[in-house]
Structure 1
Amino acid sequence: MSNEEKVIGVLGGMGPEATASFYMKVIKETKVTKDQDHFRTIIDSNPKIPDRTQAILYDGPSPVSEMIKTANNLKLAGATVAVMPCITAHYFYEDIQKEVDIPLHHVLKGLNKYIDEECSGVQKIGVLSTTATKNTRLFETHLHNKEVVYPNDFEQEHKVMQAIYGKNGIKQGNTGQHPKALLMEVAERLIKEEGCELIIGGCTEVELVLNATDLSVPFIDPMRVAARDLTRSEKIG
């Protein structure tokens, strides 16, 4: 397969910085010797898509129609496969895929395959995600034969969600020490008290402040796995 046969479409804006970060992952995961070896990548960063957590938990506006429109924009622009750099958005995956006739890469299915291949001995996995992702059991649905552990209710709302959505949080443009400290505190408790052997950045904002050197067990960024899958697979989807 040549690079010209696959054009990667990024259904972005959820949030914008996570979208930009994902594009850098695509670049870094592509094996190249010159500019022309990179994949053509079309990004529609649409921050007007309604918030996924608000829609799932609090009866906020549905993001589905705007996500479908954005995905179809990518197809019209020439994308042959699309991807959403937002984990919570995968709650709506089926609703979007049935209305879009290019493949929509499923980040969590790809993550499950990666863990089976690269971390087969791991049994207990800690997940730092939005409350919507936690409550809809997205990781339990797609990570097979693994025990998924989330922060307790207090940690989830007062630390993880504050790190993501709070007034000094990542979605406010703060990728500094404040959100990082909150997430590291929760992650280390999951490791030390719950016995988690692996931590997953279950929200695309989490990987903007945490990385593999921060924790005492391996840390996996699902969007880096997705970038790896999209740039190395021989299949269009």
Structure 2
Amino acid sequence: MPTRWKKVGIVGGLGPLACAYFYARLVELTPADSDSGHPEVMLLSSPDVPSRLAHLSEGGPSPVPALQRVARRLERAGSEVIAVPSVTTQAFLDEIAAAVAVPVIDMLTAVIEQLRTAGVHRPALAVTDGTRRAGRLHQALTAAGLTPVYPDRHDQARIQQCVTLVKAGRSRTARVRFRSLASAPWVSAGDAFVIGCTDLSPLLPDLPPGGHDVGDLYARAILAQAATP
């Protein structure tokens, strides 16, 4: 147990359910035996942030100015560590970090370190179209010696549809569709199923054996950064 927690700021709304679920997992993974043992957390869910997917996939409005505004507001509110719980949004992490003086924790580095520690070599990734197009996660994985496995075009479209359903408030429908993807043939080509999008995290809280969720991996990294001896 740390003697003091740094105050954690969460850039929310990426999407809203994903970040709410991330906060819940942050609470559940905190090594505390009472309410007072948890870190102070500020979650700012701003509906003004343009779609990261639309920008990366279709050249829509840049989300950077809005993301920077959210980060500055969290810093002004006292955040000492900032979390951005969205794999797709990591494409803009450098710009977000440049807007504040406090650490903005890199999700990709945290995820890869923990996958390597777990002995994963060929992660079967369920990620958004935007994450695949941006290529940052793929490049980071391959640079670390991991070989990512992706679904075919049909299953990739089904994954993206699940993300769209979640953002439209239809998570129950998305949950049913996503569960079948965890046992699809392309998954067996890897050595671990990895949920690589926090919008998908709430759809499969009970991971298959050996599975990993980037939201959980990131939550553990944030707690490690926030803990003080």
Q: How does the TM-score come out when normalised to structure 2?
A: 0.91
CA drift of 1:191 comes to 2.3
2:218 partner letter: A
The answer to whether structure 1 residue 207 and structure 2 residue 201 are counterparts is yes
User: CA 1:101/1:151 → structure 2, altered by over 3 Å: closer, same or farther?
Assistant: same
Q: Which runs of 5+ in 1 are unaligned?
A: none
User: Which residue of 2 is the match for residue 44 of structure 1?
Assistant: 44
**Aligned mates of 1:162, 1:234 — CA distance in 2:** 35
Contact residue 18 and residue 200 of structure 2 kept, 8 A? no
CA drift of 1:123 comes to 2.1
User: Which residue of 2 is the match for residue 164 of structure 1?
Assistant: 163
CA drift of 1:235 comes to 6.2
1:206 partner letter: L
Which moves more between the two structures, 41-50 or 227-236? 227-236
**Aligned mates of 1:41, 1:138 — CA distance in 2:** 28
CA drift of 1:13 comes to 0.6
User: Which residue of 1 is the match for residue 216 of structure 2?
Assistant: 224
The answer to whether structure 1 residue 28 and structure 2 residue 22 are counterparts is no
**Aligned mates of 2:226, 2:171 — CA distance in 1:** 35
User: Which residue of 1 is the match for residue 4 of structure 2?
Assistant: 3
Corresponding residue SS for 2:41: strand
2:160 partner letter: M
Contact residue 3 and residue 38 of structure 1 kept, 8 A? no
User: CA 1:80/1:58 → structure 2, altered by over 3 Å: closer, same or farther?
Assistant: same
CA drift of 1:93 comes to 0.8
Which moves more between the two structures, 179-188 or 217-226? 179-188
The answer to whether structure 1 residue 175 and structure 2 residue 171 are counterparts is yes
Q: How does the TM-score come out when normalised to structure 1?
A: 0.88
**Aligned mates of 2:216, 2:47 — CA distance in 1:** 21
**Aligned mates of 2:44, 2:225 — CA distance in 1:** 22
| Higher relative contact order structure (alpha carbons within 8 Å, sequence separation ≥ 6) | 2
Contact residue 212 and residue 219 of structure 1 kept, 8 A? no
**Aligned mates of 2:98, 2:227 — CA distance in 1:** 20
CA drift of 1:229 comes to 1.7
Over the aligned positions, Cα root-mean-square deviation in angstroms equals 1.7
**Aligned mates of 2:71, 2:225 — CA distance in 1:** 21
User: Which residue of 1 is the match for residue 79 of structure 2?
Assistant: 79
Give a deviation string over 1:58-85, Cα, whole Å, max 9, x none: 0101000000000000000000010112
Q: Which runs of 5+ in 2 are unaligned?
A: none
User: CA 1:59/1:234 → structure 2, altered by over 3 Å: closer, same or farther?
Assistant: closer
Count of aligned positions:
224
Corresponding residue SS for 2:94: helix
CA drift of 1:173 comes to 1.5
User: Which residue of 1 is the match for residue 110 of structure 2?
Assistant: 110
CA drift of 1:218 comes to 2.2
2:4 partner letter: N
CA drift of 1:234 comes to 6.4
How is 1:146-157 mapped onto 2 (pairs within 5 angstroms)? 146-157=146-157
**Aligned mates of 2:192, 2:176 — CA distance in 1:** 18
**Aligned mates of 1:14, 1:233 — CA distance in 2:** 21
User: Which residue of 1 is the match for residue 99 of structure 2?
Assistant: 99
Contact residue 139 and residue 148 of structure 1 kept, 8 A? no
2:80 partner letter: T
